[in-house]
């Protein structure tokens, strides 16, 4: 999920666990953009084969 659009689609169809699909498209996109904007560690290519 390296892109906001792909992450938003996943969020829209799977979150919240108690009622999947209850978020609007805009809410899902907002959550995905928020998560995507947070700092994160760089993927270590040494683990690519696992």
Residue 43: per-residue pLDDT: 82
Q: In this structure, is residue 50 part of a structural domain?
A: no
| Range of the structural domain that residue 32 is part of | 4-39
Residue 40: per-residue pLDDT: 84
Token pair listed for 27? 């809410």
Q: In this structure, is residue 47 part of a structural domain?
A: no
Residue 7: which residues within 8 A CB-CB, separation 6 or more?
A: 1, 32, 35, 36
Q: What is the pTM of this model?
A: 0.74
Distance CA 37, CA 48 (A): 24
pLDDT above 80: residue 1: no
Tally of domains within the chain: 1
The per-residue pLDDT for range 12-50, each reduced to its tens digit, is 999 999 999 999 999 999 999 999 999 988 888 888 877
Residue 47: per-residue pLDDT: 85
Q: In this structure, is residue 49 part of a structural domain?
A: no
């Amino acid at each position: 999920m390296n892109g906001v659009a792909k992450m938003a689609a996943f969020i829209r169809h799977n979150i919240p666990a108690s009622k999947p699909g209850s978020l609007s498209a805009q809410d899902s996109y907002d959550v995905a953009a928020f998560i995507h904007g947070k700092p994160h560690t760089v993927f270590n290519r040494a683990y690519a084969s696992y």
